[in-house]
Amino acid sequence: MDHPMQTPRVVITGIGVVTSIGHDIESFWSSLLAGQSGIGRVSRFDPSEFTCQVGSEVRDFDPTLYMDAKEARRSDRYTQLAMAAAKGAIKDGDLDVTRVDKTRFGVLVGSGIGGMETIEIQYDRLTKMGPRKVSPFTIPSLIANIASGVVAIELGAKGPNFGLVSACATSAHAIGEAMRMIRTGDADIMLAGGSEAAITRLSYAGFCSMKAMSTSRNDDPKRSSRPFDKTRDGFIMGEGAGIVIIESEEHARARGARIYCELAGYAATCDAYHITSPDPTGEGLALCLNNSLKDSGTAATEIGYINAHGTSTQLNDKTETSAVKEVFGDHARNLLMSSTKSMTGHLLGAAGAIEVAATIKVLETGEVPPTINYEYPDEECDLNYVPNKKTTANVKAALTNNLGFGGHNASVILKTL
């Protein structure tokens, strides 16, 4: 296919992740390839009265390694995780921020929920001790754009900056929109991704009430997230952050950066169907996939790997499979498609960014992480999900999918240079 007119070419040069299975890209990637689950019994609150009692928590995390102790105390956990991922990306990308034109350096860090823990803590203070005991930092801590703002303040980034909110498609949208800003010349370099820290009582109560989370393996947490498996019964919540450095190829080469891959295409659509359920026809996601292929100038047959949204819910996994078969036709059988949520859980607004990170590493290394806990095939989910053990493949083009409550869809396409 002819490559559409795109000036300039956009590349990814740094990766920062903070997850239950690694606080940097190297440990995260080695854990994925080993099929290591980060899911365990929830420790951030007593989960005994909840129908789902397991989660994928970031353990042994010290925010003062990444930000001033006073600033850390004033910030919600989701902002702390975002700062850690941002600093990780800068380190990985060998980016000297003092040598960047700050007016052309932007930050797009989204969150599906924002400061949920802050809301709960401060509401508890309000009801028990009255309004005078509510922290003056309550509002700036809980709003869903503040991670983007705090990262930019720390780095002096004065370019495009806002917080995206599209539920579980948030950070994929952030990465795609940052790509467009580079293409249109609004910025030379962007930090983009997402952060989430919603393992709290209220979040669990809400998701459990709507019967979205797995309840069948509280006694065996590491086997609870099982995307595409016939016995899947809901998602497992994760927390963490993922942020990548996105810049024009010209800017990257001028600063001597190591280039991971091209950020080649992106699309966003809406099912316009239901507030929580995906359209069972897969029409909205299929349109998103087709549009991202068109945007990147990529033929469907060129895609070798898909990092699936793969939430381990009954509806998502069969709908996503159906959409992939619709778009890729006979080539769907040749694709490798895995859900790393089987190991990380579902990071909600941060999911897309850590899955982009994993997909970048597939292109770089030729190794493909598995979908663990795949034991019982589902006749409606009949593609190659890389069951249980990693594999190898020479992948030149890959994509990630993310879907969010509200019907939001996002697809991001990455290619080797």
Contact (CB, 8 A) for 108 and 148: yes
What is the four-CA torsion angle of 359, 255, 160, 174, rounded to 10 degrees? Answer: 0
Instruction: Determine which helix (DSSP H) or strand (DSSP E) holds 408, and give its type and residue range.
Output: strand 408-415
Cα distance between residue 97 and residue 88, in whole Å: 13
Round the CA-based radius of gyration of the chain to a whole number and report it. Answer: 20
| Closest by Cα among 368, 365, 361, 366 to 390 | 368
SS3 52: coil
Residue from 261, 346, 381, 408 carrying the catalytic annotation = 346
Has 261 been annotated as catalytic?
Answer: no
C-alpha dihedral sign at 190, 179, 86, 367: negative
Buried b (16+ CB within 10 A) or exposed e, 70-79: ebbebbbbbb
Instruction: Determine which helix (DSSP H) or strand (DSSP E) holds 58, and give its type and residue range.
Output: none
C-alpha dihedral sign at 147, 149, 150, 155: positive
Q: How many CB atoms lie within 10 A of CB 301?
A: 13
| Closest by Cα among 371, 416, 410, 417 to 193 | 410
Has 309 been annotated as catalytic?
Answer: yes
The pair of three-digit structure tokens given for residue 241, joined into one six-digit string:
């952050």
Residue from 168, 208, 288, 381 carrying the catalytic annotation = 168
Has 346 been annotated as catalytic?
Answer: yes
Residue from 208, 309, 381, 408 carrying the catalytic annotation = 309
Query: Which residues does the annotation mark as catalytic?
Result: 168, 309, 346
